[in-house]
Chains A and B, each alone.
Chain A
Amino acid sequence: MLQVKNLYKSYETTKTRYPVLKGISFQVEPGEFVAVMGSSGSGKSTLLNCISCYIPYEKGNILLGEQDLGVLDKEGLAKVRNEKLGFVFQDFMLLDGLSVKENILIPRIIRESADQQAQDYADHLMELFGIIHVRDKYPAEISGGERQRTAVARSLINDPLLILADEPTGNLDSKSSRAVIEAFEKAKAEMNSTILMVTHDSFSASFCDRVILLRDGVIYKQLDRIGSQSSFQGYLLDTIKEMSEAESERDIR
């Protein structure tokens, strides 16, 4: 579904060049729920922004299905963002002037296919994620959890190949976070959605099939979920601790 091959990206100031991604390669299979974790500055958000086609990258390939994103022009990238990708952001990114249902329909409106079928599908998604009762309300009138579930429903409206979620529970309390993760699980279970989620939260990541740990722009480890969610969270925490200690030792050296 998604193949990232030898990806390089750096940021430049007037004097210095800061490499952020240093040859990252991995792939995500259809229907897989993958989390990317790492400390601040490890490059996880940059990785997501490259896959989202928000920022250009210097070297490597990103293949979404059969499509190489690196060869597309601006129009082509916009089309990919609209039709093949779904987005969930930390601060929801809902349009304040539109109702919950209208927000969910935006990708279809952009695609010029917000027909009755799309509206029925939006209703179905709202039903699925428990936000049907706020369908006509505006973002300012609903809770954070409801807003994020609205964003999840929006990300699914075009049946994308891949959902990209950037810290989707970062601004939420634990109850709302749980509701959002459940929404992802439902999307995976009922629609066979493929999800790539960047997160700091080991609890949210423990619901994923696989966790990619990034350190200093390279993949430190990939952990497959074995056993229950809680045991996977324990395993995750141990590995993160191990990675942090290795980082500290290196910093001391």
Chain B
Amino acid sequence: MTMKELEKKLRRQDYHQAKLYLFCNFISLMLITAYSIMMMAPTVLEVLPEGGDSRKQMVAIFVLAAVGCVAFTVYATALFFRKKSRQVGILMALGASKRQLAPMLYREVLVLGFASSVCGMAAGFPFVVLIWNGFRLLIVDSKEMVLNIRMECLGIPFVFLVLVMVLACVTAKRYLKRTDILDTIQEEHKNEPIKELGKWCGPAGIVILLAGAVIAYYAPEVYMKLTYSYGGAWLNLLYIPVFIGLYMMLLHTVVYGWHFKKRVSYKNLVSRSMMKFQGKQTVNNLLVSTVLLAGACFAVFYVPSMASGNFLNVRNRTYDYLYDYRADQKVPGREETENLAAEYGVSLKDWHEVPYISLGMDGMAYKEDGNKFYYEYEELETEGNFFSEEDFRELTGLSVTVEPGTYLAVSDNGDSIYSRQLTTDSTLFTNMVTEKTLEVRFADYVCCDFLAGGTGYYILNDADYKKIAEGITGEWSGRMTIFNADGKDDYRFAERLFHTLVSSFDKSCEIPYYYDRVQKISDNKKGDTYWGDMDMAGVNFEEPDSSAFRTLWRYMPKFRIMDKNDFICTYGVFLMVFIFIFLICITAACVICYTRCQTIAVNNRYVFDDLKKLGAPPAFLKQEIKRQCCTVIRTPAIIGILMMTLLYMMIMYGNDGKITVSEILALGICGVVILLIILLLYAVYCLTVKALAKELEIEG
């Protein structure tokens, strides 16, 4: 027998020992590859615009997931070497030199690491295809939800693969460098106690975490207000106290536990001491799984908060159909629309159609100069759409009085977030055709839910309206149409009307809602290029059913039946991306928890053996396993879920200074989602306990 044959024989046994290592590498590479494929899929990149919040959230959670994957790969590598160390130590003790052992060890970890990583990378493809197509099959399928895989997405998994290999080699080198042979042999039973900070660290951790989160959340806004500049990425460093606080809380949990009642001195003694003496890695693991679970909750909460807002918005609309169009567009009139409706057996009622004009409004224009920003007065600052008092009354049935020389801004009843987007500091309106001006001042808000949001509507005194509207052309005026279905509505009619409307607009109306024609004219007059002309992705008349078109088009009609039916389809890619992120994070968190429980069991096998020898019954031993697993799984679950729920509530409150009805509904749905997550984690807990009992040969 030669050294090579010996290596081959030992490797066969190692494959059994390396199961967890192979599993972790496989899972981490699979998750990273799947996430990369999804994140870099052209469909996702198109729907989640660059620089947008959704894209940032997707990338941020990817970073968290990647950190999590790195963490459990590190632990799995360490665990593999712990198991391997006895073998290496015995060979060293019997006279094997490092020169002899090095190639053997490197070959083994490289083969294992490479094989598991490549398999993981390969599995990432069917995994993402399965989820993507499963989503299309079970939840929603739209034309744009095509999965295109770009080979560039393999860059990140490849870097991760290299990291896995380097990590394995570095750990192998560290083991070979050891001089104490006995230490190497006994490695499996070595403890890693954590430095205790004292019982104050838990409560202090909670305070630091909460204070850190609030400070970091509001810091960019405060910084902007104080310095009139963007703080940049460094402001994210303010989140560091959140992690420090979290670490302190977890440290307290592992070392002391939380006792609200009088402590029973011997309860949990064995399990706590086991966990305490593996403290360093346990706390690190808990930290990573908490962050991942928080990421999972963040992603999955996105869905109900989006859906509930849309649900209530659609349900509470006063009219079934609402749309506006520029007066110079050849849009079907009342008769044509009624005829179209008749084709589907739908009759229409409550038809109202009123004109409006688009004026230039003066104000303090937002300007950027590098990282700094400032406000500068401009006569043509933004575009606003204006009704006369009479037309507004005709359209809404609301009787309003506007004093001459003043204007009202149309907002909604509940979500005053829209109010902040309206221009209320304007003092001069300009007819963009005749360049005639009108001096005004803001008087008040008027509530009308179905007109709130979008480009913003205002009301002028009838005489002022008439004066300023004089000479205006179809390009700067429009018509607002609203009506109801008399009796049962038909989705096919709504869809047909939508497509008919889209096809009746010319190219000059192929703009997103944020495209400001007044600002463009103002910029062009100064010789500047309007920013909207540089970045105008998303709206394309060729793709009226794409989510980009339906969410961004300036003249997107609001048809209740269509918005209700097409919601999932319109936001399909968003929903899928965030559900996908949830799946990745929750999988990674579950694997970390499982790995950690396995590690604790493997490292404490001798404790369980000793307890058996001391006569501990299987029920007692199983109870100890349950306590370990419970702490490892329950702690991140409680903290992660709680953190995200609080963050969501903070964001909801921060939006408009109150929690609205749709937000309460969203929180309710999030509650149901939390329950489902808890059930899933409970299943993982049960499986882990069962696996550990088997591993430790505990019956019953």
Chain A residues packing against B (C-beta within 8 Å): 49, 52, 54-56, 74-75, 78-83, 85, 87, 89, 93-98, 102, 105-107, 109-112, 114, 154
Contact = CB atoms under 8 A, between A and B. Distances in A.
The CB with the most chain A CB atoms within 10 A, among B87, B97, B185, is that of B97
Given A95-B10, A97-B12, A81 B1 contact: no
B536 interface: no
B99 A75 contact: yes
Nearest to B92: A78
Contacts of B13: 96-97
Given A102-B9, A109-B2, A93 B185 contact: yes
B94 A107 contact: yes
Given A49-B182, A109-B3, A110-B3, A98 B9 contact: yes
Given A54-B180, A75-B99, A93-B185, A110 B94 contact: yes
Contacts, number: 76
A87 B93 CA distance: 8
A97 B84 CA distance: 12
B98 interface: yes
A126 to B, nearest CB: 15
Interface of B is mostly: helix
Contacts of A83: 95
A118 to B, nearest CB: 9
A109 B95 CA distance: 10
Contacts of B100: 110
B1 A102 contact: yes
The CB with the most chain B CB atoms within 10 A, among A78, A87, A106, is that of A78
A111 B93 CA distance: 13
B95 A54 contact: no
Interface of B: 1-3, 5-6, 9-10, 12-14, 87, 90-100, 179-182, 185
A117 to B, nearest CB: 13
A98 B11 CA distance: 11
B93 A106 contact: no
7 contacts: A52-B93, A74-B179, A78-B95, A89-B93, A94-B90, A96-B13, A114-B1
Nearest to A85: B95
Contacts of A85: 95
B98 A74 contact: yes
A95 B98 CA distance: 18
A13 to B, nearest CB: 14
Contact of B97 (A78, A89, A94): A78
Given A107-B95, A109-B6, A95 B182 contact: no
The CB with the most chain A CB atoms within 10 A, among B2, B10, B91, is that of B91
Nearest to A82: B95
A107 B14 CA distance: 20
Given A102-B9, A110-B3, A112-B3, A55 B180 contact: yes
Given A55-B180, A55-B182, A109-B3, A79 B9 contact: no
Contact of B182 (A54, A106, A110): A54
A93 B9 contact: no
Contacts of B95: 78-83, 85, 107, 110-111
A21 to B, nearest CB: 16
A223 B183 CA distance: 33
Nearest to B98: A74
A78 B96 contact: yes
B2 A112 contact: yes
A252 to B, nearest CB: 34
A95 B182 CA distance: 15
The CB with the most chain A CB atoms within 10 A, among B14, B87, B95, is that of B95
B97 A95 contact: no
A154 B13 CA distance: 21
A87 B89 CA distance: 13
Contacts of B182: 49, 54-55
A98 B181 CA distance: 21
Contacts of B6: 98, 102, 106, 109
Contacts of A107: 94-95
Contact of B94 (A81, A96, A102): A81
Nearest to A76: B97
The CB with the most chain B CB atoms within 10 A, among A97, A102, A107, is that of A97
Nearest to B87: A95
Given A54-B182, A55-B180, A75 B9 contact: no
B190 to A, nearest CB: 16
Nearest to A106: B94
Given A110-B100, A154-B94, 16 more contacts: A56-B179, A74-B179, A78-B96, A80-B95, A82-B94, A95-B10, A95-B90, A96-B13, A97-B12, A98-B10, A106-B6, A109-B1, A109-B3, A109-B6, A110-B3, A111-B95
Contacts of A114: 1-2
Contacts of A95: 10, 87, 90
Contacts of B94: 81-82, 87, 106-107, 110, 154
B91 A110 contact: yes
A131 B97 CA distance: 29
A160 B91 CA distance: 16
Contacts of B92: 78
A154 B180 CA distance: 22
A195 B39 CA distance: 67
Contact of A75 (B10, B97, B181): B97
A106 B3 contact: no
Contact of B96 (A52, A96, A98, A110): A110
Q: Which 7 A-B pairs have the closest CB atoms?
A: A82-B95, A97-B13, A81-B95, A78-B97, A54-B181, A114-B1, A110-B96
B594 to A, nearest CB: 25
B433 to A, nearest CB: 85
A102 B95 CA distance: 16
A198 B182 CA distance: 16
Contacts of B87: 95
Nearest to A54: B181
Contacts of B98: 74-75, 78
Contacts of B9: 97-98, 102
Contacts of A80: 95
A125 B358 CA distance: 104
A112 B282 CA distance: 43
A74 B97 contact: yes
Contacts of A87: 93-94
Contact of B93 (A79, A93, A102): A93
Contacts of B93: 52, 54, 81, 87, 89, 93
Nearest to B95: A82
A90 to B, nearest CB: 12
A98 B9 CA distance: 7
Contacts of A93: 90, 93, 185
Contacts of A55: 180, 182
Contacts of B180: 54-55
A198 to B, nearest CB: 14
Contacts of A96: 13
Contacts of A89: 93
B14 to A, nearest CB: 8
Contacts of A78: 92, 95-98
The CB with the most chain A CB atoms within 10 A, among B1, B98, B182, is that of B1
B86 to A, nearest CB: 8
Nearest to A55: B180
B98 to A, nearest CB: 7
